[in-house]
Amino acid sequence: PPYVFNDGKVDQRGRFIIGASTANFANPEPNGGLFRLDPDLSLTKLDSGIHFSNSPCWAPDGKTFYFSDSLINTTYAYDYDVESGKVSNRRPFVNTSELGGLPDGATVDADGRYWVAVFRGGKIAAYMPDGTLGQIIDMPVPLASSVAFGGPDLDRLYVTSISHDVTQGDDGDHEDDDEAGYLFVIEGLGVRGIREPLFAG
């Protein structure tokens, strides 16, 4: 079935892991999945049964992989084989329903906390490695879309946002959200990120 690729990251060995989402926004079906693009440009399907893919990132040791199906507000954790690039043992990790939105872009800090933009919820949430909620940051806009650590010391959290929600048929600006679509930076969190690897192909 047709699908669209959405959100990817590179693992410790230079492989590009990317999610695929259903192309049917009106009546979403779980025909998306998870794929691995190796440095030799071969493409391998790793998992299926995903509606809207998001949030790929790894624990600091590379052995746990996080990936979300945003339609059902659920982030999964997988066992990740760093040597082979294979995933296994998918299990629910967190559900962002209680925060009023869905998991979008995500990253992990050096201590293993999982940071995720809660799209429509106007929040950034940090979860501990055991899945408990550790911190919430309220954003001035509802459609925070992704997060990444940057700066010389990787201690600044950059947050992207968008001005309209295409999945809800909303193609106009949020008139009350003057900063919708801005890029934000959050400082003073007391945490550091992990430098992202580059694709080896």
Cα 183 off chain centre by: 17
Which is catalytic among the residues 11, 69, 104, 155? 104
What are the start-end ranges of the E strands in 29-72?
32-37, 43-50, 53-58, 64-69
Q: Which three-class secondary structure state does DSSP give residue 28?
A: coil
Question: Which pairs count as long-range contacts for 148-151, CB under 8 Å and 24+ apart, including other chains?
Answer: 148/105, 148/107, 148/193, 148/196, 149/107, 149/109, 149/192, 149/193, 149/194, 150/193
81 is catalytic: no
Q: Which residues are catalytic?
A: 104
